[in-house]
Chains A and B, each alone.
Chain A
Amino acid sequence: MDFLIDPFQAEFVRHGALAAALVGVLCGVVGCYVVLRGMALMADSLAHGVLPGVAIAFMVTAGGAGSAAEPDQVAIAIGALVAGLVTAAATSVILRRSRLREETAAAVVFVFMLALGVVLISRTDGYTVDLTAFLFGDVLGVGSGDVLATAILTVAVLALVGVLYRPFLLLSFDRQRAAALGLRVDLLQLVMLVVITLAVVIGFRVVGALLVLGMLLGPPAAAALVTRRLPAMMALSAGIAAVSAPIGLLVSWHLDLAAGASIVLVPVTVFIVLLLARPAPR
């Protein structure tokens, strides 16, 4: 049994597992709406849209080329949040001013923000290292302060999702019905994007911008295969995401694989297993 316990003797692995589990639960719940509303590309766009904000925060706090100052993590989180909100708002504006499909609008903003982020980061020293950390996260570099911050933010966003459960369910089920029941669907749609952005901002430092999408999509997609009601889907999704963190880290430890990517492979594997195991739909 030691091989199950050994890796977690190290504090940095425990911190990483805890932070990844928290992010998993958050993304597992929020991701249910991403899956139900078919907003995968929008979520992807938000995940990468945070990059310019990260780059600017990095440049400002780390002092740009030649400076030895450490980048400020709070500034990076705020920069990421602002850039994510800009991505969400820009997509909404394009949607309203054109008659393009949401996926097209999202993709245009996605490409712009990603390219802008890369251009900005290329102006800083240590370009490759920072971009890698951004895209793939640094789950084993999470400190105890980060775990606490992640826990508080996760609980706060989950509480928000709890309050918005009925409006979000209506919006996801049928916009017309939501409007007839007196909801401002445009505003609500934007709020949903903000909530997804919050999950991305909280999650990308742990599993990376590329893989936070895996936590937003993998667990809910797996849960959707076997549940009939949204609360059950959310609970199962959160559960799958939470256990993915320690399992992924175990695998990564013993096989010497990238930690963040190993974590994300778990829910996707669960999805595939459930897909093959359940009876085919009529």
Chain B
Amino acid sequence: MRTEQVTDAFALRTRDLTVAFNGDRALDGVTVEIPRGVSVALLGPNGAGKSTLFRAAIGLVEPRSGSVELGVDGVAFVPQRLDVEPAFPVTAMDVVRMGRYREVGWVGRFSARDHELVESSMRALGVDDLADKRFGDLSGGQRQRVLLAQAAAQEAELMLLDEPFTGVDRPTHEALRGLLRGWRDEGRTIVVATHDLESAARDFDLVLCLNRRLVAFGPPGDTCIEGVLAETFAGHVVRVGDLVVDVAHHHHGAG
């Protein structure tokens, strides 16, 4: 009798996860188990279900069938972009403080440590000087950094980041890479949705190739290869660093 390998140390696990909107399957029978303490690049074209996987993980969309399960206590989620009314009355610091609400509770007071976490997170993302600015008055890049500071302040074990590198300036890009490395070295689990093949292969422990179905999941050496990528990006254009590759025309090429 074969004993199945049991690992309780998963951060996020889905079993035959199917999510559909109006009959269109955004995710179709995805079974995957992301272990704790690794960094994962979630790779796939637009419409591959990357955001849907995140939204299912935090319970914002109901699976049509199958299940999604968190193996950790806290999860931080940084969406691709946030449409907030410009006049919404919160300051940048208020937004970062929200990251502590789960720990502090509905009516609990912020401890000295909570305040320190908020401040150190804002310093780490270089937004400490924006603390009293209204969130809606910030630029897109500044908002993104404030939201990342919020995620940092949350001290979550699982960090889900949806396209964090899209549309950020060079310094933010570098700061973010350092931040991700730091989080991973602290033993957190990081899942980053991205189009960027080069970064996926270079900066992450594992790569999850998604195109509504699970195409592949493993180390970059096993996943960032011609056949897998062709299937993942079938019919789409891929960005490899500064190079743009049209997979639809490319995947019958060299090999």
| Chain A positions near chain B (C-beta within 8 angstroms) | 36, 38, 99, 162-167, 169-170, 172-177, 179-182, 184-185, 224-225, 227-230, 232-233, 281
Contacts and interface: CB of A to CB of B under 8 A. Distances in A.
Interface stretch (B52-60, B186-194, B200-208): B52-60
A94 to B, nearest CB: 16
B60 A175 contact: yes
16 contacts: A36-B88, A38-B85, A99-B22, A163-B106, A163-B107, A173-B98, A174-B82, A174-B84, A177-B150, A179-B58, A179-B77, A180-B76, A181-B102, A229-B94, A230-B94, A232-B89
A167 B90 contact: no
B99 to A, nearest CB: 8
Give the interface centre of B22, B91, B101, B154 by most chain A CB atoms within 10 Å.
B101
Contacts of B86: 281
The 3 closest A-B pairs by CB, nearest first: A180-B77, A179-B60, A180-B58
How many chain B residues sit at the interface, stated as a range, is 20 to 34
Contacts of A173: 84, 88, 90, 95, 98
B101 A166 contact: yes
Interface of B: 22, 55, 58-60, 75-77, 79, 82, 84-91, 94-95, 98, 101-102, 106-107, 134, 150, 154, 160
A161 to B, nearest CB: 12
A167 B89 contact: no
Contacts of A232: 89
Nearest to A38: B85
B89 A230 contact: yes
Contacts of B89: 36, 224, 227-230, 232-233
A179 B62 CA distance: 12
Nearest to A234: B89
B98 A36 contact: no
A166 B107 CA distance: 8
Contacts of A182: 102
B82 A169 contact: no
B59 A179 contact: yes
Nearest to B105: A166
Contacts of B107: 162-163, 165-166
Contacts of A224: 87, 89
B114 to A, nearest CB: 13
Contacts of B90: 169, 173, 229-230
A164 B106 contact: yes
Given A179-B59, A228-B91, A170 B101 contact: yes
A177 B77 contact: yes
